[in-house]
Each structure stands twice: as C-alpha cells, then as structure tokens.
Chain A
Amino acid sequence: MEPIDQELEEGELELPSQPMSLNMGPSHPAMHGTVRIVMELSGETITKADVQIGYLHRGFEKMCERGNWTQVFPYVDRCNYASPMLNNVGFALAVEKLLGVTVPERCQYYRVVLGELARIADHLTSQGAMAMELGAFTPMLWFIKGREMIYDIMEEETGARLTHSFGRVGGMAKPPSDHFKPMVAQVLPRVLSILGEAEALLLQNRIFMDRLQGVGKISAADAIALGWTGPCLRATGVPYDVRKAHPYLVYDRLAFDIPVGQEGDNWDRFMVRIEEIRQSVRIIEQALEQMADQGPVNVDDPRIVLPPKDEVYSTIEGTIQHFKIVMEGIKVPAGEAYGYTEGCNGELGFYLVSDGSGTPYRVRIRPPCFAITAGLGGLVTGLMIPDVVPTFGSLNMIGGECDH
C-alpha cells in the first residue's frame, strides 16, 4: 500500500505567512439574520473587517410605493420582527404627523403599553440569544420563557404572536380587550422574577463576564458620529432617549429613568438592556394605572378610520366609507414629515413623502440597526475572532430592519 503522503512536496503543509481571510456568514449561527463579515486575520486577531449586509433585503421601501398607507403596516412588522409593535406605532405616528391628527388619549396609553411590552420581549430575545451564543443555553431558555408570556398577551390582544399588523393610521385595529389590564398586571411580576433568575445565572459567571467586559468598546464621541442611538449609545454614557428628548404619546407623563453605561463595551450594552426591561415595567405599571377603561380608541374622522363592520354591510354610508378607505386608501395631504420614536434599538425614523394620493410617494425607514451595524467593522477590528460573537450579539442587529 502506498503511503498517502508520498507525493507531497516539501513546504506544502507550511502555514501561509500572508494575512488570512476568513469569511463569517452569511450563514452562520452567530450571525443573526444574515450578515457576512469578511475578515483579514493576523493569527487570531482581526486586522480588517468588512461587514456586508443586504442578504435580507426585500425592497421594503419599493413595496410601500405600491399599496396604500395602511398596507404598509404588515411590511413594518417584518422590519424589526423582534418588536413589531414598536414599528407599527412608529409608522402610525409618522403618518399621523403628516395628517395632523392626534389619537385619543386611551389609544396613546394603549400604544405605550403594547410598545413597552414589545421592547421587553425584544430585549429578552436579543440578550437570550447572545447568552446562548456564548454557551449559556439555560439562561436563554429563561429569557424565552419570559418572552413567551409577553407574546401570549400580544396574541390575546392582536391575534398574532409575532406579525401583529395591529397599528392603524388614526388608532389601533381593535380597542383593548376587557381583560387586558389584569392580564398585563399578572404577567409583569413573573417576567421580572424570571429576569432575576436569569441574571443570577449570568452576572456572576466568570466566562460570561470575561467575554463581555472590556470587549467591543466604543467612545461616546465615536458612537454619536456613527449615528448610534438607543441602548448601544446609552451604554457609552450618553443619556439620549427619544422618549425623553422629544416625548411622544404620553411618555412625558410617565416617570422612568434612562439607564446609561460607562465603558461602552459589551457588558454595558447588556446591562443597559437588562435595566431597560425594568424601566419598561415601571412605565407599563404607571400607564395601566392612568389608562381609561372606557372611551374611544380611534380618531373620529371618516376619512381615516374604517367604520364598524355591521354598518358596512347594512348601510350605504358605511359601505361608501369602507370602499373609499380600502379601495383608494387614506388620502394623506401632500407634504413630507419625519416621524421618529424610540425603537428597541434606538431611533426608529420614518421619513414620509406624500403626493396627496392614497399611495405613499416615498416611505423611507431609518432603521436604528443600520447605523449600528455600520460601526461593527470598526468595533471588531483589533479583537480576536471569538470576540465577534458577543460583540455582534450585544449590538442586536436585526436583519430585516437593517436590510430594509
């Protein structure tokens, strides 16, 4: 039998001396969504990183130019699929800004509560996923357990766990259900206790701490210049939160703190998100208390809001109203507006241009992830390959949003 290395020439097995390129993703367990990072390595240290996105590009902005304004809601659901309710509310607020209408107070509280629930769910998911990527599988199950409780509320209220399409211009698809308040009030303490248990598993864990602390640091000035917002910016110590800086809905009536970090590293980003969950719980508790049990949810304008179904079937007025809104769409006056809210990853902006017809002329989404992911390349340069995983995880890049 011939030896297998018979034809091997000398030197072929030597390690290459030039920098090695390594391709991480687009299909990689740690690249949530689908992102590709092409890295140039010197040993195990990353000397250059090119982050390539677009694998989840679905032409969101182009699609929006084809339907009417209401038909955008299912699309925004699928932009940030970890917290679709916040996107729904953000888009509805932007269109309402352009229309010049304000929804009734009850609806504003409703939107706040649903939005903050979505924020909690999002933070739980993203931090759970990050922990899992670092080998901590059990805490992930804990986090997901908490998230599922919130998804149950969402399902009860909207009919769907994930893609609710629940927002409407000028209100919500349905008023809050009768048992909405007790349901939320019951779930919140359980979520908090689950969070406490998961924290106990992670925050004392040497491996977890070592892989987060001091890794993926960014200065406040750099973060601002990159356009970072949300928890990632606050982790660098900048207390910028759209809910405080430019209050919308009823956030100015609710007391909550903005958690900030100091170092701007992965640990700070993790801790800011964990603390934000607690703040969101605070917000929800106050909002539930202040929210009226009765009263209208939708604005009283036949040009914007659909009539009740029984009227559509039995009266000509209802039929006409339904027909006009469904077939021609809500007529948004010509103009432009930039509506921005605090999404779970930062400032979620919608820049809308209307030509006065029932179809949007241009819907521009400003996804918070896009600016944050833009900074990823710089962040991991100089780190080691395994550091990419927690750094990427702590940024919480959401593919659907980042890639439009």
Chain B
Amino acid sequence: MPTFKLDGREIPFEKGDTIIRAAHRMGIDIPHYCWHPGLSVAANCRMCLVEIAPPPGQRPMQLDILEWDAEKHDYVVAKKPKLQPACQIAVAENMEVKSESSPEVEKARSQVQELLLLNHPVDCPICDQAGECRLQDYWLEHQGTKKRMRDEPVHKPKAVVFGPTIVYDAERCIVCTRCVRFSAEIAKDPVLDERQRGNLTEIVVSPGRLLDHDYTLMTEHVCPVGALTSSDFRFKARVWFLRSARTLCMGCATGCNAYLDYDPRTMTPHRHRPRENMAVNQYWMCDEGMLSYTRVTGDRLLEARIAGRPSTFEAALAEVKRLFAGVPKESIACVLSAQHSYESNFALVELASKFIGTTALFTSGKPKGKRDDILIHEDKNPNTLGVKKLAPSARPFDQLLEGLLTGTYTHVIALGTDLPGQPELLEAPLSRAAAIVTMASHDGPFVRRASVALPASTWAETEGTYINSRGMAQRSERAIDPKGESRPAWELVALVGRTLGYATEWKKLKAVRREMEPEASAPADRPVGA
C-alpha cells in the first residue's frame, strides 16, 4: 500500500483518498465541520486546513500578506504558506502533510474557529447540542482565546420549523451544508438549500415543501452544531447525563446498528441514533428507526394477564398448568416470533421439539410494509431469517389459523403479540382455541385474545441476537433495567416449560447460548458462516 507522511507519521492510503479520509481511517482526527465520511466534499468550513510541502524541486506555495508589526506600529509585508483543505486534496505517494506540527495550521484553525463563533449566540445552556458540540470541543482544542469583537452580532431567525421533526436555528448554523448534501445525496430528496450570502446565509426548505422525507432526523444527526434540533429530543435531556448502549434497530429486517441513549438515573431511553457499520447501514438510519425507541416505554405489557385481566405471575402460571393439564401433545401448537431474539425463539423451539415433542411450529410477526432502496426493508421483523434458520420447517401463520378452525390444534404457546394478516380474519379461528399462552412485550392482537399473557422484556432491556435480511447475526446490548414485571422472553419460556413439568433449566442467557449451535452463539456483527 502506498503511504504518505502526516506530521512525520507514515499513513497508508488507497487510490483516490483525500488526506482527511486516509487519516480518518487510521483514527487520526483532523478537525472538520463540513466533511462527513458518507457525504460529498464541500470544503467550506476551512477547519481542516493543512500545510502541504511542495513536491521536490518546486517552490512552496506562498501568500503575500500584511502582518502587524508592533514595534513599527504599522503593517509590514510578509509571506506565509498557502494552506489547503485536507478534505479536498487527494493524497499522492510520499506527500508530506503537516497538521498539528505546523504553527501556521494551528493559527489558521484558531482564526477559523474565531470567525465561526463571531456571530454565535450565547446558547450553550439552552442548546441540545451542548456537550457533544464541535464548536465547544474545537474552541478548547484549537482556539482558547476570548472574544475580541465588541459589535452586536448578526441576528437571524430562530426556532424555524422545517417539518414535523426538525426545528432550525439560523444563528447557531455554521452553514456547513451537511444537511443539504445529506438530503440530496442520501435521502434523494433535495428539499434543503442555502439562501443569501456572507454572514446572512441560512438554510431554507424549498418553497411549498416541508422537510418530511423518511430520513429527516439524520439531518439533525449530521449537524455538527446545534442548528438543527429534533423536535422529539428537544429539551428532553442533557447529553452528558446519558449513557449509550450498542443496540440494533428493530424496525425492519435491515438491522441497522444503533446506539440507544438512556438516562441511567431514571432508566428512560431518550433517543436512538445510528452506529457506524459499513456492511449494514453505513452511517445512516431512517426516521422510523430513530423513533422506534419510544416503543420501549409505550404500549407495554407490564404484568401477567389472565383472559385480559391483570394477575400475578404465580396465578398466571397456575392457570397455564390448569389449561394444559392432560392435553395431548399433537394438539399443542407453538408460534415463533420474528420480532423476538434468536435466543428466545431458540428456547421455544427447544421446548416444543425436545420437551413437548410437537412438530407444529408456526411463525408470526408484523405484516409487510413500506420499502425503499436506501435502508427501509419491506419485512418489518428484525429476526425473520433467525426464525427460519432455527426452524426451517416452521409453517406460516395462516396454516395455524386453518388448524385451529379444523380443530387440529386446540392449545397454543406463542412468542410475541404481532400477527400478520387481516385482524377480522383472526377473530373466528382464535376464538376456537381452547387456550392461548403468549409471552409478549407489548399489548397487541395476540395478547388481547390470549388466555394467559406473560410480560416479556423489550430489546432494550435484554441482550439478544438477531439475523437480518442479509443473513448477518448481530447482537444488541441491554440498555435499561426491565420495566414492570417483565422478564426476558427466553426466561418466560423456561418458566412455562417448568410449569408444564419439563426440565427447562436455563437460568442465565449464557446457558441458553451454550445450548445454541456455536456458529450462531458467537456472532460479531458478521454474516453467519461467512
């Protein structure tokens, strides 16, 4: 691999790399605002200026400038090297780049930073970006001087509503155009642009439009300052109190990698944001996925229910025992859920095939939905392939309905609450069932019709493995403590198994994983078998 020199250090690069990209790959941060690894180059923030030594035999690029001479009390003519943006200059073999080692670069950064803050409002205390703001970080790292301008700063519109999800503050904006480029290049909806010039420039939405494509929250995420704020997160939490868990998005089969930011003091999730994974979602996530964290607290099943009425765990399990007493194994059907993790489904498959001895396995999940060519998958279940891999013989849900109508199956043990298909078609067959036991995290069609419903933890409350549409097994971390009386679904399956008199002895997730085949139990964000 060819290399170039950055501050005396050898950095390898690939053909076509810019300086900043090659450095970024090596984990070296050249300060920048407008550059984003997933977007085109704008080179308008001038923060990444570096000094590049001339090729051998050529004169260095220099600028004539006027410098203040304190002794003469006048400006004198001087020269300084012409600095170039690291985000735009393609690397050449043996190029010598000075970033931190050049005093000129340090000076330039300090001055760029000073200019960016020239008209910035004193908003940190009320700004959602405070704590993760580039302006703050770089001021401390590269500027550290006080304000020199004593004039009234330029005032621009504040709290402009861009659309249902985004609020814009033009005074905080540094016009890096990341949001403009994102909308045009990634979301394929060029709805944002700049207006005016100089220090009056601001970002605007196209006349007659709203910022309402499927990736609007990403514009807030790519904003390096607090100009764009999400109306969902606005004024909800201060970021330095939040902790992050490495999770997955459960919105569809794409399985975007994400961080769930939650407040450890109240155990409340506050936002879901993308986590870089070049093989899955790159840097992006859709609005629906970023807002899917609300499902962790919303619409939950938090206590055991018998025929729709809240009850204790013990009573619910006793009811399970009563309902299943003396039932022949042929009439028991088990329903797997593509909404639940590989581990939970594994536990149910074990219970069904190894302990109960039934082959009647069915799958359930959310019905198909909207799709696009960017990230959104039509299959709205995060673990469809996982269920398929666990139980290749599992039949679709319609066949269970038929079986219930004909009376082949009378008793059902199920995971999850979401059911595919028309709600009115479910009523007749499900009412024929003698007993339905479901372990679900949310209220929904299945829970409402269940004889016994047990509260399961959501993805944010327990660890789990999910296999996405491209066959990659990925693991989602636990963020918060389980809400209410909920427990991980695999634990509930084990509990139901024990109630029915089987030796389902798993007490810890480790024990479940140990029984799973090694291939699926040790995924590290990579395709299974690859």
A71 to chain B, nearest CB (A): 14
Mark out the residues of chain B between 102 and 131 whose CB falls within 8 Å of any chain A CB in the assembled complex.
117, 120-125, 130-131
A211 within 8 A of B: no
**CB–CB A317/B146 < 8 A:** yes
B124 x A320 contact (CB < 8 A) = yes
Would A316 and B140 count as touching, CB distance under 8 A?
no
In the assembled complex, the Cα of A313 lies from the Cα of B122 at a distance in Å of 8
20 contacts between A and B (CB under 8 A): A302-B145, A303-B144, A314-B122, A315-B147, A316-B117, A316-B122, A316-B124, A316-B147, A317-B143, A317-B147, A318-B146, A319-B124, A319-B125, A320-B124, A320-B136, A320-B139, A321-B139, A321-B144, A324-B136, A327-B131
Interface size on A, as a range, is 10 to 19
B156 to chain A, nearest CB (A): 15
Neighbouring B residues of A320 by C-beta, 8 Å: 124, 135-136, 139-140
C-beta contact mask, B503-530 vs A, less than 8 Å → 1, else 0?
A: 0000000000000000000000000000
A302 partner residues in chain B, CB cutoff 8 A: 140, 144-145
Task: From B130, B145, B146, give the contact of A323 (CB < 8 A).
Answer: B130
A311 to B147, CA, bound (A): 9
**A289 at the binding interface (Cβ < 8 Å):** no
A317–B123 Cα distance when bound, in Å, is 11
Which chain B residue shows the least CB distance to A323?
A: B124
Does B135 lie within 8 Å of A317, measured CB to CB? no
Distance to closest chain A CB from B138 (angstroms):
10
CA distance A177 to B140 in the complex (A): 30
- 0/1 string, B228-253, CB within 8 A of A gives 1: 00000000000010000000000000
B455, chain A: closest CB distance, angstroms: 34
Structural contact, B130 and A316, CB atoms closer than 8 A: no
Shortest beta-carbon distance, B241 to chain A, in Å?
A: 10
A355 at the interface (CB under 8 A from B): no
Find out whether the CB atom of A324 lies under 8 angstroms from the CB atom of B140: yes
Contact with A along B146-173 (1 / 0, CB 8 A): 1100000000000000000000000000
Would you call A317 and B140 a contact (CB within 8 A)?
Answer: no
Whole-angstrom CA separation of A323 from B123 in the bound complex: 11
Q: Which of A256-309 contact B (CB under 8 A)?
A: 301-303, 307
Closest residue of chain A to B172, judged by CB?
A316
Tell me the total A-B contact number using a CB cutoff of 8 A. Answer: 52
Q: Is A311 within 8 A of B146, CB to CB?
A: yes
Residue A328 interfacial (CB < 8 Å): yes
Neighbouring B residues of A319 by C-beta, 8 Å:
122, 124-125
A303–B139 Cα distance when bound, in Å, is 10
Q: What total of chain B residues lie within 8 Å of the partner, measured CB to CB?
A: 19
Complex Cα distance, B121 from A307, in Å, reads 17
In order of increasing CB-CB distance, the 10 nearest A-B pairs are A315-B147, A302-B144, A316-B120, A319-B124, A320-B139, A320-B136, A317-B147, A323-B124, A319-B122, A324-B140
Q: How far is the CA of A317 from the CA of B120 in the complex (A)?
A: 9
Output the least CB separation between B45 and chain A (Å). Answer: 17
| Residues of chain B whose beta carbon lies under 8 Å from any beta carbon of chain A | 117, 120-125, 130-131, 135-136, 139-140, 143-147, 240
List, in ascending order, chain B residues with CB within 8 A of A318's CB.
146-147
Supposing A316-B117, A317-B117, A327-B240 touch, asked if A303 and B140 sit within 8 A by C-beta, the answer is: yes
B135 contacts across to A, CB distance below 8 A: 316, 320
Q: Determine the residue in chain B with the shortest Cβ distance to A314.
A: B122
Please indicate the chain A residues that have their CB under 8 angstroms from the CB of B122 in the complex. Answer: 313-316, 319
Cβ of B251 to closest chain A Cβ, rounded Å: 33
A301 / chain B contacts, CB cutoff of 8 Å = 144
A320 CA / B124 CA spacing, docked (Å):
7
Per the bound structure, the CA–CA distance linking A315 and B118 in Å amounts to 10
Compute how far the CA of A48 lies from the CA of B205 in the bound complex, rounded to whole angstroms.
Answer: 86
CB distance from A370 to the nearest CB of B (A): 35
For residue B120, which residues in chain A have a CB less than 8 angstroms away from its CB?
A: 316
Task: State whether A316 and B146 are in contact (beta carbons under 8 Å apart), knowing that A302-B140, A323-B130, A327-B131 are contacts in the complex.
Answer: no
Instruction: Tell me the smallest distance from the CB of B113 to a CB of chain A, in Å.
Output: 10
A328 with B240, Cβ < 8 A, contacts A313-B122, A316-B122, A323-B130 known: yes
- Tell me which residues across on chain B come within 8 A of A314, comparing CB atoms: 122
Docked Cα-Cα span, A301 to B140, in Å, equals: 10
CA distance A311 to B131 in the complex (A): 19
Q: Cα distance A323–B145 when bound, in Å?
A: 15
Instruction: Report the nearest B residue to A315, measured CB to CB.
Output: B147
Closest to A313 in B: B122
- How many angstroms between the C-alpha atoms of A319 and B146 in the bound complex? 10
B263 to chain A, nearest CB (A): 16
Q: Shortest distance in angstroms between A150's beta carbon and chain B's nearest beta carbon?
A: 37
Closest-by-CB residue of A relative to B144 is: A302
Q: How far is the CA of A52 from the CA of B83 in the complex (A)?
A: 68
| Residue in A311, A313, A321, A323 whose Cβ sees the most chain B Cβ within 10 Å | A323
Chain B residue at smallest Cβ distance from A316? B120
Neighbouring B residues of A313 by C-beta, 8 Å = 122
Among A303, A311, A315, A318, the most chain B Cβ lie within 10 Å of the Cβ of: A315
Q: State the Cβ distance, A187 to closest chain B Cβ, in Å.
A: 38
A316 to B147 alpha-carbon distance, docked (Å): 8
Taking CB atoms, residues of chain B closer than 8 Å to A327 are 130-131, 240
User: In the assembly, what is the distance between CA of A357 and CA of B147, in Å?
Assistant: 27
CB proximity of A304 to chain B, nearest CB, Å: 11
- For A323, list chain B residues within 8 Å (CB): 124-125, 130, 136
Nearest CB in chain A: distance from B22 CB, A: 26
Q: A315-B122, A317-B139, A327-B240 are in contact. List 7 more A-B contacts (CB 8 A).
A: A303-B140, A315-B146, A319-B125, A320-B124, A323-B124, A324-B140, A327-B131
Centre residue among A301, A313, A317, A321 by max chain B CB count within 10 A: A317
For B117, the chain A residues whose CB sits under 8 A away are: 316-317
Residues of B within 8 A of A328 (CB): 131, 240
Interface hits, A207-260 → B, CB 8 Å: none
Residues of B within 8 A of A315 (CB): 122, 146-147
Question: How far is A319 from B145 in the complex, measured between Cα atoms in Å?
Answer: 12
CB-based contact B121/A316 at 8 Å = yes
Q: How far does the alpha carbon of A307 sit from the alpha carbon of B147 in the complex, in Å?
A: 12
Q: Nearest CB to that of A300 among chain B residues?
A: B144
A308 to chain B, nearest CB (A): 9
Minimum CB distance partner of A331 in chain B: B140
- Closest A-chain residue to B145, C-beta based? A317
A190 to B117, CA, bound (A): 55
Across the interface, name the chain A residue whose C-beta is closest to B119.
A316
CA distance A301 to B144 in the complex (A): 8
Q: Hey, which chain A residues are within 8 Å of B131, CB to CB?
A: 327-328
Q: 8 Å CB contacts to B: which residues of A111-127?
A: none
Q: How far is the CB of B143 from chain A (nearest CB, A)?
A: 8
A307 contacts B146, CB within 8 Å?
yes
The distance in angstroms between the C-alpha atoms of A319 and B135, with both chains bound, is 11
Give A33 to B146 CA distance when docked, in angstroms: 48
A321 to chain B: which residues have CB within 8 Å? 139-140, 144
Cα–Cα, bound, A319→B122 (Å): 7
CA distance in complex: A324, B240 (Å): 11
Q: Nearest chain A CB to B381's CB is how many angstroms away? A: 40
Residue among B120, B136, B145 having the largest count of chain A Cβ atoms under 10 Å: B136
Nearest to A301 among chain B residues (CB) is: B144
Interface centre among B125, B131, B135, B139 (most CB of A within 10 A): B139
